[in-house]
Chain A
Amino acid sequence: MDEQQLRVFIDIVSQYFEKQTGKAPDVGSPYLGDASSLPIYDFTGVIGISGERQGCVYVTAHRDLLRQLLLHVGESDVSDNNLSDLVGEVANTISGNARRYFGPDFMISVPVVVSGNARAIQVPRSVKAYILPLRWHKFEAALVVSLQ
């Protein structure tokens, strides 16, 4: 995966935030992490990838960020269920757009939402993953791309 393809993922997330709230998130410096040291916040939306490359892409966010995002779009119900749905929606947006961009070589799944438990997310263990930190209204989130 080259920088161009990484940028596609960043753009999808940025555009989602911008469209929903009028403000794109700040993208932090990208770095690499081992499977055992990847950031996992309160809610994580995972999309699996298979085909030529195997692995997953996930977006993970703090509860506060998701709550704020909901309030921004005029949703007053900030229960865990809604926060979970929201992170699922972000992942779904990534999934839908990425499918359009990468074509049939990348098989992209529908998203799955994982709350909290980092161990439930299966990432390839033999390679380092790209970690793309995101910051929106001082709340942290991250986009993680882990492909073999």
Chain B
Amino acid sequence: MLKLGLGKYRSIVILITLFIVFDIGVLAMTFVISRQLTADAISINLAGQHRYLVQKLAKTALLIDQDATQGTFDSSGKSSLNEVKDLIATADRFNAIIATFDGGAKLPDMTEELALTPSQDTQAAALFALVKDLWEPINAQVQALNQPKDGHRPDVGPLLQVLIPNNLNLLSTSHILTSRLEALSAAKAAKLRAVQMAGMAAALVNFAFILYSFLGQLRKSDSAVERAQRETEDILRTTQEGLFLLDPEFRMGSQTSQALSKILGVEAKGGENFLDLLKPLVTPKTYDTTKEYIELLLRHDVKEKLVASLNPLDCIEISAVRANGALESRFLQIRFNRVLQAEKVTHLLVTANDITRRVKLERELKDSERRVQDQMGMMVHILQADPRQLQDFLRHASDGLNQINEDLRTASPTTGVSTPRIDAMLRIAHRLKGDAAALNLEAVSQSMHAFESVLQELRAQTRRSSEDLLPVAVRVKGLYAEVNAIQDVIARIGQVRGVVSVEPPKPAHDPEIAAQPFVRQWRGFAQQLAKRLGKQVELTYQGLDVDGLSSQLREAVNTSVNQFIRNAVVHGVEAPADRKKRGKSESGHLSVYVSDQGDGTIELSFRDDGRGINPEKIRLAAVRKGRISPEVAKGLDARALTLMIFEPGLSTRDEVDEDAGRGVGLDAVKEMISRLGGRIRIGTTSGEYCHFRVQLPVKAEPNDTNMPDRIKEVA
């Protein structure tokens, strides 16, 4: 089957072809009709001639007769001869028309055959037959005159005898025949016109259909184009990547994504030369390599995947200056992919991404890994060192470095640093070197040693310019950094210690002490509170006889334990069903220990196995109560948030009742403990436990010198 590949235009082409066919049909019809009408007019004309010929014949015959009667013939008889000739010619004409209508002859003045003859219609044929019948005797008499002799008068008497009675009849019959032929012609013409009109109507309908179909298709394809365009625009407007097509002349395509300018940091317009745009952003070398790389990609004989690793724009750093002079660096990744048509590279699709965040994160991760490695090495020594000695060293180091820096700052612009000042610096460096060595901080010790050498060199110079102090400043900066690093490590260790509290050794259990009045009272209070809140708790006690403590300590321990119980039962211990879901026993457990630390302090340890402290709840409560701004809250770590429970007025409970909600319990405990010179620490793991540890100094009451003996340690 022949396929023209008309595609979506197939129906339109068919319709247009039909339209043309209809038009040709109508034209042909018009032509046929006009020819038919012409042909019919000849027939009608011939029929009409019959009437005229009959009248002419009668007139001529009567004239000849009149001439004969009145004797007006000329002597030669020529005129009457001419009239007879005329009579005969008229009759011949009549006969010729009859013959023509009969289809036998053709008139000399006719160019074509007759289209309409009386034989085509019964009525016309009858009329024509009548005409012929009426004509026949007349014609015979006319033909009898056909042989006139010169000098003889023609005798038209017999002719008139047949002519006069039939003349009118013949005339009227001819007239009726003519009218009949006219009617036949008109009917035929009407029929042809109807066919013509139908053809024209069909052509018009077809045209209307073409119009409808064409417009419909046009609208459909317009809307498809619009939709595709809108989708492209949406993509280009919304995508976070810089997108555009690059032609072999390095010119960017007319459409670029909206994000492109933002990513590149310069206004990027379609049609621009990409290399011109790139030039100010990269080094000349990168620029040249990029040009070569693009040219390579545009070549058909090079494999795209093979050259992809050569892309010089895979990660480029570009920088922009902010108003305050700070240089803002951004990292871009610009990638190129071939666009193929018939296996030829026509364009490159360029994708630009801002990968600053990723690169910075990678760098931070590397830095952080390096720092962690450094710190781990340091941590081993720091953990072995005596904390107090370490703190002393750090304080001395910081003071010493500040002193040296101050000496540098106040040195005379003309004479520089004096020898005594250098000696003082040397003393500081030497002492710090010794202290660092004693603490096993080898790196610091070595740096101090190197610093001593720099100072010794400086001291040896007879003339010391300010520029000679540059090495000193550089070393001091390095030492500051090392001291800061140690402080960072200590802070980190402290952070870990603060949150995950190290369990103290448990005092042994003494059933007698566990049943003492204070413990009974705590147990009763815990049960009562738990009952009210629909919870279950058990309280166990191990350690010293609380009754045996000084009244001040007893009161402090009792007040603290009561507040801890309230805090634990209200906030910490979950409802029995919740505890079961979490795989805990239905009954919450509160453990209280009081032990003598042997260094003049006692430690109260209170631990519950409830849900622990949720730093996020504290963060929300602190913001809700307007204690801190949301921005500050966001920056606080878990440790700082946990410590906020000791601040006045900060309860995580939404409603105030007799049990909790005013946020005044723990801050009062803290205040009391610090008033007694003690300290409080807290350890918690969300969902697992909360642990308070209170250290209180044992102070002998003035009127109770036996106090130490009353501290009964259960061994």
Contact = CB atoms under 8 A, between A and B. Distances in A.
Interface in A98-118: 104, 107-112, 114
Interface in B453-479: 465-467, 469-474, 476-477
B109 to A, nearest CB: 108
Given A27-B466, A29-B416, A109-B327, 17 more contacts: A2-B474, A3-B470, A29-B417, A32-B473, A46-B324, A48-B319, A48-B325, A50-B319, A58-B325, A108-B327, A109-B321, A110-B321, A111-B325, A127-B481, A128-B477, A131-B409, A135-B413
Given A3-B474, A107-B317, A128-B477, A31 B409 contact: yes
A28 B416 CA distance: 8
A112 B325 contact: yes
Contacts of B212: none
B324 A7 contact: no
A29 B324 contact: no
A138 B519 CA distance: 79
A21 B454 CA distance: 35
A30 interface: yes
A78 interface: no
A26 interface: yes
A47 interface: yes
Nearest to A58: B325
A104 B169 CA distance: 129
Interface string B366-403: 00000000000000000000000000000000000000
A120 B324 contact: yes
Contact of A31 (B322, B324, B408): B408
25 contacts: A3-B470, A6-B474, A27-B467, A29-B408, A29-B416, A30-B469, A31-B405, A31-B408, A47-B325, A48-B328, A49-B327, A50-B317, A50-B329, A51-B329, A56-B327, A108-B327, A112-B322, A112-B323, A121-B324, A122-B325, A122-B326, A128-B480, A130-B477, A131-B409, A133-B413
Contacts of B405: 31-32
Nearest to A28: B413
A32 B476 contact: yes
B474 A1 contact: yes
Contacts of A127: 477, 481
B470 A6 contact: yes
A6 B319 CA distance: 23
A32 B471 CA distance: 12
A47 B321 CA distance: 9
A36 B616 CA distance: 33
B455 to A, nearest CB: 14
B333 to A, nearest CB: 18
Interface size class of A (residues with CB under 8 A): 35 or more
B324 A114 contact: yes
A10 interface: yes
B446 to A, nearest CB: 17
A50 B413 contact: no
B467 A10 contact: yes
Contacts of A111: 325
Interface string A1-45: 111001100100000000000000011111110000000000000
B411 A29 contact: yes
B528 interface: no
Contacts of B66: none
Contact of B325 (A2, A32, A121, A135): A121
Name, among B317, B322, B327, B467, the residue most crowded by chain A CB atoms within 10 Å (CB to CB): B327
Nearest to A29: B411
Among all A-B residue pairs, the 5 with the closest Cβ atoms: A48-B327, A46-B325, A29-B411, A112-B325, A3-B470
A6 B466 CA distance: 13
Nearest to B409: A31
Contacts of A104: 283
Interface of B: 283, 317, 319, 321-329, 405-406, 408-409, 411-414, 416-417, 465-467, 469-474, 476-477, 480-481
Contacts of B317: 50-51, 107
A116 B506 CA distance: 64
Given A2-B474, A130-B473, A29 B323 contact: no
Contacts of A48: 319, 321-322, 325-328
Name, among A27, A29, A31, A58, the residue most crowded by chain B CB atoms within 10 Å (CB to CB): A29
B463 to A, nearest CB: 14
A29 B325 contact: no
A127 B477 CA distance: 9
A106 to B, nearest CB: 10
A107 B474 contact: no
A26 B474 CA distance: 20
Contacts of A2: 474
B416 to A, nearest CB: 6
Nearest to A46: B325
Given A29-B409, A48-B319, A109 B473 contact: no
B266 to A, nearest CB: 15
A127 B411 CA distance: 22
A112 B324 contact: yes
B417 to A, nearest CB: 7
B429 to A, nearest CB: 16
Contact of B471 (A3, A46, A112, A114): A3
A83 B413 CA distance: 26
B469 A29 contact: yes
Contacts of B417: 29
Contact of A107 (B319, B406, B470): B319
B301 to A, nearest CB: 33
Contacts of A46: 324-326
Contacts of A122: 322, 324-326
Nearest to A107: B319
B419 to A, nearest CB: 15
A30 B480 CA distance: 15
Contacts of B481: 127
Contacts of A121: 324-325
Contacts of B323: 112, 120
Nearest to B415: A29
Contacts of A28: 411, 413, 466
A114 B326 CA distance: 12
Nearest to A112: B325
A30 B413 contact: no
Name, among A3, A31, A111, A112, the residue most crowded by chain B CB atoms within 10 Å (CB to CB): A31
A130 B466 CA distance: 13
A145 B465 CA distance: 20
Contacts of A47: 325, 327
A79 to B, nearest CB: 22
B355 to A, nearest CB: 16
Contacts of A107: 317, 319, 327, 329
Contacts of B406: 31
Contacts of B474: 1-3, 6
Contacts of B412: 29
A53 to B, nearest CB: 11
Contacts of B414: 26
